[in-house]
Structure 1
């Protein structure tokens, strides 16, 4: 999928030889969460978690390659926050030497994302409505996880709050690469200012547990403003 995406990106850049280009900048908020799936029974694999949204941000740029009056190809580069938060319970299930943690887990990652979107434009009022979508490939460049809750060790209980950096790799905490689909919509005024919203639907799992029946995929809702010139 990575090779297909890169090939698509270079094909879109090739349109530069005959297209009228517009450069855009954008920034806004993201509300990332994660889709967790597991068919594993107890003790056989990772549990299925119910992730809720974090709040993060994004900032980036785009190039619009004009194919026709109402259609453009729009590759870009975005620094974007992803992750999620969920309730967790971990235990060794040994009554005589119990070790258990119950509380919240929060994952925050920062990613460089390369989208290539097909965008349709419709004249409307004093500007234009735009709708589009396409593939993206993202690479995690940093991340941290936070845990807050109650730790039980034997008969002793204490409040635990911890934070650590996330390691990326196939044999680490999470995979570094993330492939998926983008969907976007917005309205642009004639002066180039626009408001927009988007949704990133992760297709590849960033889970590294190695179980075929489990997955962890990014989901990112975003809203922001931009300017094209």
Structure 2
């Protein structure tokens, strides 16, 4: 798996270097608040756990193909997961001997590649919208309830470390490079990775809404 990740990063780096030789390049940084949750399905039934609040931080490289179109790969560290509130499913908190919500936390290194469409907004700046695929690799994970926290071992817990999906984003950028943006990540990869899950045709997928600030220079 490490060889796969290194290979993907190498290909991305070589492609970036080749593209940079022939197109205008802008570098950027970004950070903000993330609102992830996870969807579970099995045997035709599906449901979503509650959204938790987390964060993301990362960098981008934007290659201008024209005044209208640009390509923007990046690298993002993001905390995904979900909140599990027993009251949402009709359980009595006494069954769990606690009033604390539980959270699942997955920390990913994510590689998105987005196609961006830019629209001038008078003399103030530009509006941009975009979409593209992403590949992510989980660096670590844990489950937390109250003051108790337990590390999630991916193979033992039946989770995959890798994930992939689609990004959608939009925002407004001032002429000085400062931007405000929002995005949505739709996970397409099935996180479930054990024989019992396969027997029930089970799938676990990430969804995340993000909003934040960035700067391009």
Counterpart CA distance in 1 for 2:86 and 2:163 is 24
**8 Å contact kept, 2:50–2:85:** no
- 2:19 is aligned, of 15, 18, 21, to 15
2:165 matches 1:191:
no
* Cα distance, 1:8 vs structure 2: 7.7
- What does residue 104 of structure 2 align with? 107
* Cα distance, 1:14 vs structure 2: 2.8
- What does residue 142 of structure 2 align with? 144
Stretches of 4+ moved more than 2 A in 1?
A: 5-14, 47-50, 86-89, 100-105, 208-212
Q: Once superposed, what is the RMSD of the aligned Cα atoms?
A: 2.6
**8 Å contact kept, 1:199–1:220:** yes
Q: Describe the superposition over 1:15-74 as per-residue Cα deviations: whole angstroms up to 9, x where unpaired.
A: 11201100000000000001111118xxxxxx9553111110000000001111111110
- What does residue 174 of structure 1 align with? 159
Counterpart CA distance in 2 for 1:116 and 1:145 is 30
- What does residue 214 of structure 1 align with? 202
2:73 matches 1:69:
no
Counterparts in 2 of 1:220 and 1:102: CA distance versus 1, 3 Å:
farther
- What does residue 202 of structure 1 align with? 187
Task: Tell me the SS of whatever aligns to 2:160.
Answer: coil
Counterparts in 2 of 1:52 and 1:13: CA distance versus 1, 3 Å:
farther
* Cα distance, 1:226 vs structure 2: 0.4
**8 Å contact kept, 1:111–1:138:** yes
- 1:55 is aligned, of 42, 53, 56, to 53
- More helix per residue: 2
**8 Å contact kept, 2:54–2:79:** yes
**8 Å contact kept, 1:132–1:184:** yes
* Cα distance, 1:163 vs structure 2: 2.0
Counterparts in 2 of 1:87 and 1:53: CA distance versus 1, 3 Å:
same
In terms of mean alpha carbon deviation, does 76-85 or 211-220 score higher?
211-220
- What does residue 36 of structure 2 align with? 32
- What does residue 150 of structure 2 align with? 164
* Cα distance, 1:222 vs structure 2: 0.3
Counterpart CA distance in 2 for 1:63 and 1:70 is 16
- More strand per residue: 1
Task: Tell me the SS of whatever aligns to 2:20.
Answer: helix
Q: TM-score, normalization: structure 2? A: 0.82
Q: TM-score, normalization: structure 1? A: 0.78
Aligned residues: 198
**8 Å contact kept, 2:167–2:186:** yes
**8 Å contact kept, 1:50–1:86:** no
* Cα distance, 1:143 vs structure 2: 1.5
- What does residue 92 of structure 1 align with? none
Task: Tell me the SS of whatever aligns to 1:68.
Answer: coil
* Cα distance, 1:147 vs structure 2: 3.7
Q: Choose 1 or 2 for highest CA Rg.
A: 1
